[in-house]
Chain A
Amino acid sequence: MRKTKLFMDTVIDIQVVTGNTDNKEEAEAAINRAFEQFRRVEQACSRFSPDSELMQVTRVIGKSVQISRYLFGPLMFALEVAKLTYGKFDPSIGKVMEEQGYNRHYLTSSVINSAAADAVTYRDIILDPSAHTLLLKKPLVIDLGAVAKGFSIDLAANELKEFDGFVINAGGDIFAGGMEQEGIPWKVGIQHPEKKEQIVHVFEISNLAVCTSGSYERRNVKVPGMHHIINPETKKSPNELVSSTVIAPYAMIADTFSTAGFLLGADKGKKLLEEVGLRGLFITSDLQFIHVGGNSNDTKKMD
């Protein structure tokens, strides 16, 4: 059983192994619930829709606003990674992204132009975990592009956990649950940064997420060398790496840390992943591999 839909400006492909059992209806209902999670997170976290929760609540400056748990979780995670990387990864980067042309809604083509102060950092975003509130010190645009998709994948995986095998593929960010067949884990290939139809490495995984951040998609059409991953300090795109893959028990971890690793580059990115205890694969611009952490057996029991 398999369905493919568009959310968050990418293609979300969900498949469930139904085997020889006759639970196709059940599988379809679960797949629909999994897609519903993408819809909710997009409605909560998109910076491209003026009517998303994120864009509504960030119009309030200097005052606490209660926010939903679909926004709170990913924002909290983004801020923690920002702290860990001393702002190298920073969700307050939204206005810079807008200015670089990442400002158009993929379905409506409407362009957004938001209010923002000149100099902002993640420290201007204050979350209160007990009250579930957000307080912005300055007008700014929050970008959860490296977090929200991972969070959606985790929620979708939670909807599908009863099945013996399932895969959620959100435009190249993947969670593979259970097994492909009895006793055989899923195989996830890592895309060649230049030859799109080829893969350069294969990971065998079970109940793990594999997310890749790369500079070979979503390039800036106007500015050579620029792409959708931008260093908040220099406002330039780093180009030491062309691909950064992270494997983690949750897609939100893999998604966010693959982007953070890309931003930090080979040496510091490797240190970051080792510090957190993550496994990954970096590919440099001269197509060298850097393997980080882990052993070859990536299976994990699901709760």
Chain B
Amino acid sequence: MVKMDKKWVILCSTAVAAAYTSGFYSTETQAVKMESAQHNQISLHTKVQQSGTTGNIANYALNQQNKKAKQKYKDGTFTGSGMNRRGDIQVAVTLRKDKIVDVQISNWGMHYSESDVVDLPGQVIQRQSANVGIVSGATYSTEAFTDAVQDAINQAQNS
């Protein structure tokens, strides 16, 4: 590589090391700590302050506010399935206190065709015979998984 400006490497290595430093404010406790402070501040901007919520799972947060309310969903890990253009999708969704804490993909049809290097206009590309299983591209969204995640959540619903 060309010699790289050290500044950016130092910023990164410092940020990574800092995450392991003891005695830092964990993000969760910091968030809780903030809650009392925010009430004093929030009124300053109430005219634009609003948080709309839509969608099925959004109700979680509302339920959370009433601590005595029965949980809408059971705690635990629930599997759900869905389809995308490439085939079946299976997910395992872990819920705790009506919050999604983990979504693991157990089966996923998305694959790139191996050694499928194509030419672009005006380019001579060296074709590589080896398999290329890792592909860098614009960050794709999780839209393809929405149905499978919803399916898992439906399994968790308290009757």
Contact = CB atoms under 8 A, between A and B. Distances in A.
A218 B143 CA distance: 10
Size class of the contact patch on chain B? 35 or more
Nearest to B138: A214
B123 interface: yes
A287 B60 CA distance: 45
A122 interface: no
B112 A197 contact: yes
Among B8, B103, B137, the most chain A Cβ lie within 10 Å of the Cβ of: B137
B15 A76 contact: yes
27 contacts: A6-B91, A6-B142, A11-B145, A43-B27, A43-B28, A56-B30, A60-B37, A66-B30, A69-B21, A73-B18, A109-B56, A139-B45, A154-B12, A176-B134, A188-B135, A189-B112, A189-B117, A198-B117, A199-B117, A201-B117, A202-B126, A218-B139, A250-B8, A250-B9, A252-B11, A276-B5, A277-B1
Nearest to B106: A4
A53 B103 contact: no
Interface in A49-82: 50-53, 56-57, 59-61, 63, 65-74, 76-77, 80
Contacts of A211: 136
A116 B103 contact: no
Interface of B: 1-5, 7-9, 11-16, 18-19, 21, 24-28, 30-31, 34-35, 37-38, 41-42, 44-45, 48-58, 60-61, 91, 100-105, 108, 110, 112-113, 116-118, 120-123, 125-126, 128, 130-132, 134-142, 145-146, 149
A60 B27 contact: no
Contacts of B112: 189, 191, 197-199
